[in-house]
C-alpha cells in the first residue's frame, strides 16, 4: 500500500507540473497582449511553468533509477529542485524578458534540463545498466533541445519575414516540441518503471526503501 501511494505521488507531481506549465503558457498567450505590465506578469508565469515542468519531469525518473539508493535519490531530487528555484529566480529578472535575450532564455532552460548529463556516470554504474531507458531519455532531450533551438533562432520566420506571422512560426513549432517532449517524458517513466520492476533491489537494500508494488497503475 505504501508503495502504491509513493508511486502515485511521484507520478502526480509530474502530472501537476505538466499542467502548471500548460496553464501558465495559456495565460501568457491569452493575456500577454493586454499591456506591458500584464505581459511582464504572464511572462514570469510562463517561465515559472517551464522551470516547474523540467523539475517535475526529473522526479519519476530519479525515483526509479535510484530506488535502491535512497541517499542518491534524495540528493539528486534536492539538487534539481534547488537548480529549478535558481532558474526561476533568474527568469523573474526584468531584463530576462527582453526580446534580444531569447537565446539566453532558451540556454537557461536547456541548462536546467541538461543537469542529467552530470548524472550519466552514475546511471551507467547501475547494475544492470538501463541502456534502453537512457536511450529514450536521449530522445526526450533531443526533442526539448531541438524545440528550444527553433525558438532561440526564430526559424523559419527569420528566413521568410511576414510569411509565418499566423501559423508555424518558431514559437508555434516550439510548442509542438514541448508537447512531444512531455509525451516522451511519460514514455521514459513507463520504461524506467518496468526496468526497475524487473530488476528489484538486493535483499540488503530492500529494507531501506518502500517496496514497489507490481499491481499499482
Segments making up each domain of the chain, as ranges: 2-203
199 is in an annotated binding site: no
What do you get for the CA distance between the two ends of the chain, in Å?
A: 12
**Tens digit of pLDDT per residue, the chain (217 long)?**
566 789 999 999 999 999 999 999 999 999 999 999 999 999 999 999 999 999 999 999 999 999 999 999 999 999 999 999 999 999 999 899 888 898 899 899 999 999 988 998 898 888 788 888 999 999 999 999 999 899 889 999 999 999 998 889 998 999 999 999 999 999 999 999 999 999 998 854 444 444 455 445 4
Contacts (Cβ under 8 Å, ≥6 apart) of 123: 65, 129, 130, 134
171 is in an annotated binding site: yes
pTM higher than the cut 0.75: yes
29 is in an annotated binding site: yes
Amino acid at each position: 500500500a505504501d508503495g502504491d501511494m509513493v508511486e502515485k505521488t511521484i507520478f502526480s507531481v509530474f502530472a501537476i507540473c505538466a499542467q502548471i506549465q500548460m496553464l501558465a503558457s495559456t495565460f501568457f498567450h491569452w493575456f500577454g497582449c493586454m499591456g506591458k505590465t500584464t505581459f511582464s506578469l504572464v511572462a514570469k508565469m510562463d517561465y515559472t511553468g517551464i522551470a516547474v515542468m523540467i523539475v517535475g519531469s526529473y522526479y519519476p525518473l530519479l525515483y526509479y533509477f535510484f530506488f535502491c539508493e535512497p541517499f542518491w535519490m534524495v540528493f539528486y531530487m534536492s539538487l534539481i529542485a534547488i537548480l529549478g528555484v535558481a532558474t526561476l529566480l533568474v527568469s523573474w529578472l526584468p531584463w530576462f524578458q527582453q526580446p534580444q535575450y531569447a537565446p539566453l532564455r532558451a540556454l537557461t532552460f536547456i541548462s536546467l534540463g541538461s543537469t542529467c548529463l552530470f548524472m550519466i556516470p552514475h546511471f551507467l554504474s547501475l547494475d544492470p545498466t538501463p541502456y534502453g531507458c537512457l536511450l529514450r531519455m536521449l530522445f526526450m532531450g533531443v526533442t526539448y533541445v531541438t524545440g528550444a533551438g527553433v525558438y532561440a533562432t526564430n526559424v523559419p520566420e527569420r528566413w521568410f519575414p511576414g510569411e509565418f506571422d499566423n501559423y508555424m512560426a518558431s514559437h508555434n513549432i516550439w510548442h509542438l516540441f514541448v508537447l512531444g517532449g512531455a509525451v516522451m517524458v511519460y514514455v521514459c517513466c513507463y520504461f524506467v518503471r518496468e526496468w526497475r520492476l524487473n530488476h528489484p533491489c538486493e535483499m540488503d537494500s530492500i529494507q531501506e526503501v518502500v517496496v514497489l508494488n507490481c499491481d499499482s497503475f
